[in-house]
Amino acid sequence: MPLNAYLIVGALLFTIGAAGVLVRRNPLVMFMSIELMLNAVNLSFMAFAHFLDSVDGWMFVFLVLTVAAAEVVVGLAIIVAIFRTRREIDVDELNTLKG
Amino acid sequence: MTSHIDGIQIWMLAPELSVVLLGFLVLGLDLITHNRRVVAATALIGLLIPLGFTLSLVVKQDALTPDHTAFFHMLVVDGYALFFQFLFLVIGFGVLLVSYGYVEKFLRVTIGEYYSIILLSLAGMMLMASTGELISVYISLELTSIPLYILAGLSRSDTRSAEAAVKYVLLGAMSSAILLYGMALLYGATGTTDLTEIARNTQAALSSGNLVLLAADVFIFTGFGFKISAVPFHMWAPDIYEGAPTPSTLFFSVGSKAAGFAALLRVFIFGGLAAISGGTYLWVMVAIVAAVTMTLGNVVALLQTNIKRMMAYSSIGQAGYLLVGFAAIMISNSPAGNLGILAFLAVYVVTNIGAFTGIIGLADATGKENIRDFDGLGRRAPFIAAGMGLCLLSLAGIPPMAGFWGKLFILLTAWNQGSALTWLVVLGLINSAISIVYYANVVWRMFVAEPEKRDRLAMSGSVTLTMAVAVVGILALTIAFGFLLTGLGGGAGGLFPTATTP
Amino acid sequence: MTIDVPAVAFWVIAIILVGSALAVVVMPKIVHAALFLVAVFGAAAGIYVLLNAEFIAIVQVLIYAGAVTILILFAIMLTQNSMSRVSNPFSGQWWLAGLICVLLAAGIIFAVNSSPMAAGAASDALPLANAAGGTVVKLGQLLYSPFAYSYVLPFEIASVVLLVAIVGAIMIGREE
């Protein structure tokens, strides 16, 4: 398969994720959409690494996986914490602060 | 390039390393002793150790590795990095000192936990300025950001704080993903993650009109745009600033912004992307973002009733001025623009710490944070009001304050780039005039307006001390602005890759 | 006529990947979105296998399809009081966001197709698999070797990031 095929799949995945963040109002689904974007990034890195014949891209993916998992932990902890204080987690409902 | 890691390389990492260790120490100390003073004193005095290491690196620059890099080009300890390390240590000192009283009253964590999270974020910020490789830049960015998400959500029984944290984490994670996509494209287009090699490869890649490189630039700029709250990525910044505990807001407005600019300039200048932008009209995008950012920031700040929201829009406006300097770099790869940004940041950090110290002082004493709550503060707490007034006037750019010189220098640099940026300079001057209105409004309220209550406010020692340090800092910067420019010249110019011959 | 097995596998996986990603974004029920997210993670691992990166594929399955999914499911369980309710409303301006994203995708794909890249110069060989000692050894050396070019610095910073995440999650999560 040519490099471009992988990159196009990555680009589609990235924009679907971006659309999800912009369109959905539930923080959890927005978080899942961000995970889609990160997977698109990883996919592009892996494709580039393969066609460049360099392991640097692998390294990037490996560390992104690690750090993104840490981000998920903190993000979900925060989302669960806000649900304890109020029983609604729609971003549009988070309007104690005006946008 | 040395082939393996030795003592000198560890020494070059020592400032960041000691900040991380100090963070661990403070966290551990908090478990053993319940004496808040001991923990706070350890953290504040402990910050002198990384400061000493940074100064030792400044003095002994000849003893470093020949090209000032360590860990296989991943750590770059040049004048630019050392300036930012010093700046972040100042920020750390200010934030730790001013938050001492606030943490106990309003937050649901102990002082040691709060301080350790700030210190670890600080280490990330220092690394953001001194890494010369994309993976390290990203990881340092995450080390900076993850503590910031936590810092936003620590208020006791305040739903606004939890909301701010949710919005911050979603926005921050999304911006990281956008930045990473830009880095992926950059890696693909140039075949390396090392910024020095990227600078070499972009020259060749551009001659063939590489659109992927251009897309990578746009994504990376967008990713950092969130961190420095540039329009149109500023959306939630006011919400986050208002909802977060005030010392955390201070930390976002100075630390996160300075770190964002540190890494942005590192990637764009050191990575050679700025050198190629003159021919790609990328500078037009930067100039437009700068124009919209400062105009929106300053105009919307006029309408605010909450002081933290006002300061949020004010900091968006200040980011706009900084982006004017960035546009000057992008148009002609001029070191003067970089010097302007560094000097402006140094002044901005000190004045913003002073302004927020006033806000924290009032919140500490009364728990209020609306602009009208500042009525008559000049009589209720004269020193704090005077110091805060001084800082606000400096932020507004009233001569002969340091803020005026910083703004003047950055606008002059842009003016010198020729007719292409003239409109931006004029807009900058108009914005400066607008900003005087809302800054002066607060000063007027503090010293002229009649207060509801006339009782004297008891300010805590830490707030007074921070204000004193900030006032001394501003006065020193005002008097010695020329020396600041001379001192920073080498660091600002050294960031540009030497082999720029195409 | 021979069938190009890797090419067929790629297209099948790519269609599953993009389809599942769309499902994550449009599914009205949040649990369904989470389940399609697992499919995305799995399909991405499949593509990594096609790229001869078995180790990264295994890590992807362990961390994403395993740990991250479990965390998200826990968060859903803790926050959604009724599974039957449509718990996942759309923003009113979805068409505008959709338009922006379609333009974005078109722009990236155009840029990728029209530009020469450093990566494009190499052939579609399978060189990494032939590295001495295999890819995992090479990856390990690159991750943590003090004597040869390695990513020691980001690796160490990442370890601090993990510690921060642990401390932070506890600070956020504990009851007063």
Count of residues making up chain B:
502
> Where in the sequence is the domain holding B409, given as residue range(s)?
281-502
3-class DSSP state of C95: helix
**pLDDT, mean of residues B111-137:** 95
**Closest Cα in chain B, distance from residue A1 (Å):** 17
Q: Rounded CA gap, B55 and B90, in Å?
A: 13
List chain B residues with CB under 8 Å of C160: 20, 120, 123, 143
Where are the strands (E) in B102-159, listed by range?
A: none
Rounded-to-integer distance, Cα B54 and Cα B49, Å: 9
Minimal CA separation from B174 to chain A, in Å = 6
Among the listed residues A63, B425, B142, B116, the one whose alpha carbon sits nearest the alpha carbon of residue C170: B116
Residue entry with tokens 């889609």: A36
Measured between CA atoms, how close is C154 to chain B, in angstroms?
5
> Strand runs (DSSP E) across C41-169, as ranges?
none
Q: Which of residues 10-29 of A touch B (CB under 8 A)?
A: 10, 14, 17-18, 21, 27
Check whether residue C18 and residue C69 sit in a common domain.
yes
Q: C32 in a domain, yes or no?
A: yes
pLDDT(A87) > 70:
no
Number of domains, chain A: 1
- Per-residue pLDDT of B445-466, as tens digits, reads 999 988 877 788 888 889 999 9
Q: Do C81 and C138 lie in a common domain?
A: no
Q: Do B177 and A17 touch (CB under 8 A)?
A: yes
**A87 Cβ under 8 Å from any chain B Cβ:** no
- C172: domain range? 128-176
Question: Is C142 inside a domain boundary?
Answer: yes
Query: Please, are residues B170 and A34 in contact by the beta-carbon 8 Å criterion?
Result: yes
* Cα separation, B183 vs B17, whole angstroms: 26
- Do B307 and B370 meet the contact criterion of CB atoms below 8 Å apart? yes
The CATH code of the domain that includes C1 is 1.20.120.1200
Which chain B residues contact residue C110 at CB under 8 A? 211
Question: Is residue C27 in a domain?
Answer: yes
Mean pLDDT, rounded, for B64-82: 89
B82-97 pLDDT tens trace: 999 999 999 999 999 9
Judge whether residue B270 has pLDDT over 60. Answer: yes
Identify whether residues C6 and C64 lie together within a single domain: yes
pLDDT in tens, C125-156: 444 545 555 678 888 888 888 788 889 999 99
Residue B232 host element (H or E): none
Interface partners of chain B (CB pairs < 8 Å, 3 or more) are: A, C
- Residue-wise pLDDT for C10-54, tens only, equals 999 999 999 999 999 998 888 899 999 999 999 999 999 999 888
Q: Which of C114, C153, C161 sits opposite B211 (nearest CB)?
A: C114
Mean pLDDT over C93-117 rounds to 83
Instruction: Report chain A residues whose CB lies below 8 A from the CB of B238.
Output: 97
Question: Which of A52, A58, A80 has its CB closest to that of C56?
Answer: A58
Give the H or E element holding residue C2. Answer: none
In a domain, B238, yes or no: no
Q: Please identify which residue in the block is written with the tokens 């070019």.
A: C149
Model confidence over B35-59: pLDDT tens digits? Answer: 999 999 999 999 999 999 999 999 9
Inter-chain touch A60–B177, beta carbons under 8 Å: no
- When mean pLDDT is compared across B274-278, B322-326, C79-83, the lowest value belongs to C79-83
CB C167 within 8 A of CB C159: no
Same domain assignment for residues C159 and C83? no
In a domain, C117, yes or no: no
The mean pLDDT value of chain A amounts to 85
- State the pLDDT at residue B472: 95
* Confidence tier at B431 by pLDDT (50, 70, 90): very high
Query: A10-25 b/e with 16+ CB inside 10 Å = b?
Result: bbbbbbbbbbbbbbbb
Task: Say how far apart CA C176 and CA B67 lie, in whole Å.
Answer: 51
Closest C-chain CA to A42:
C44
Domain match, C14 and C78 both: yes
Task: Tell me the pLDDT tens digit for each residue of B232-264.
Answer: 888 878 999 999 999 999 999 999 999 999 999
Per cent of chain B over pLDDT 70 is 96
Query: Quick one: chain A helix, strand, coil %, rounded to 5?
Result: 80, 0, 20
Asked, for residue A99, whether it belongs to a domain, the answer is no
**Residue B30: pLDDT above 50?**
yes
- Report the percentage of chain B scoring pLDDT > 90: 62
Interface test with B, best of C142, C164, C170, C172 (most B CBs within 10 A): C164
- The answer to whether residue C123 sits within a structural domain is no
A74, A79, A88: best mutation site toward chain B, by most B Cβ within 10 Å? A74
- Where is pLDDT greater, at B19 or B72? B19
- Cβ separation of A91 and B170 shorter than 8 Å? yes
**C109 domain residue, yes or no:** no
Give the count of beta carbons closer than 10 Å to the beta carbon of residue C146.
13
Q: Identify whether A98 is part of a domain.
A: no
Contact A46 C53 (CB under 8 A): yes
Can you read off the two tokens belonging to residue B402?
């340091």
Residue type, B212: V
Cβ contacts below 8 Å, chain A against chain B, sum to: 124
Listed residue (B206, B216, B209, B157) closest to B186, CA to CA: B216
Tell whether A64 is covered by a domain: yes
Task: Judge whether B320 and B291 are in contact, CB under 8 Å.
Answer: yes
**DSSP conformational letter for B457:** P
The DSSP secondary structure of B36-87, one letter per residue, reads HHHHHHHHHHHTHHHHHHHHHHHHTGGGS-TTSEETTTTEE-SHHHHHHHHH
**pLDDT score recorded for residue C131:** 52
Q: Are residues C75 and C155 in the same domain?
A: no
What integer is the mean pLDDT of B212-233? 89
CATH number at residue A82: 1.10.287.3510
In total, how many domains does chain B have?
1
Rounded Cα distance, B85 and B16, in Å? 8
- Residues C19, C72, single domain; the answer is yes
- State how far the Cα of B310 lies from the Cα of B239, in Å rounded to an integer: 11
Question: How close, in Å, is residue A96 to chain C by CA atoms?
Answer: 18
Are B165 and A82 within 8 A, CB to CB? yes
Calpha distance A94→A86 (Å, rounded): 10
Instruction: Identify the pLDDT of residue C139.
Output: 83
Chains with 3+ CB–CB pairs under 8 A to C are A, B
Give me the phi and psi of B418, to 5 degrees please: 95, -170
Task: Clarify whether residues C139 and C77 are in a common domain.
Answer: no
The DSSP-derived string for B395-434 is HHT-TTSHHHHHHHHHHHHHHTT-GGGHHHHHHHHHHHHH
Cβ contact A16–C101 (<8 Å)? yes
Q: Is residue A14 part of a domain?
A: yes
A–C CB contacts, 8 A cutoff, strictly below: 219
> Which amino acid, one-letter code, is at B118?
I
Nearest C-alpha in B relative to A18: B174
Find chain A residues with C-beta within 8 A of B181's C-beta.
Answer: 14, 37, 40-41, 44
Mutation pick from A30, A55, A86, A87 vs chain C, by most beta carbons of C within 10 Å, is A55
- Per residue in B146-190, pLDDT tens? 999 999 989 876 778 888 999 999 999 999 999 999 999 999 888
Residue of B473, B501, B436, B470 whose CA lies nearest to B95? B470
The reported pTM is 0.93
Query: pLDDT tens-digit profile of B323-381?
Result: 999 998 888 887 888 999 999 999 999 999 999 999 999 988 888 889 988 988 888 89
Q: Is residue C140 part of a domain?
A: yes
Q: Are the CB atoms for B84 and B345 separated by under 8 Å?
A: no
pLDDT at A99 over 50: no
Is residue C70 included in any domain, yes or no?
yes
Distance from CA of C143 to the nearest CA of A (A): 7
Interface touch A67/B139, C-beta < 8 Å: yes
For residues B372-398, b (16+ Cβ closer than 10 Å) or e, as one string?
ebbbbbbbbbeebbbbbbbbbbbbbbb
Q: Which domain holds residue A53?
A: 3-93
- For residues C79 and C139, state if they share a domain: no
Rounded to whole angstroms, the Cα distance separating B312 from B301 reads 8
pLDDT of residue C43: 96
Chain C residues with CB under 8 Å of A24 CB are 25, 88-91
Domain co-membership, C11 together with C61: yes
Do C139 and C66 share a structural domain?
Answer: no
Of residues A13, A52, B178, the one with CA closest to residue C13: A13
- Domain termination site, one of C87, C111, C137: C87
Pair C8, C59 in one domain: yes
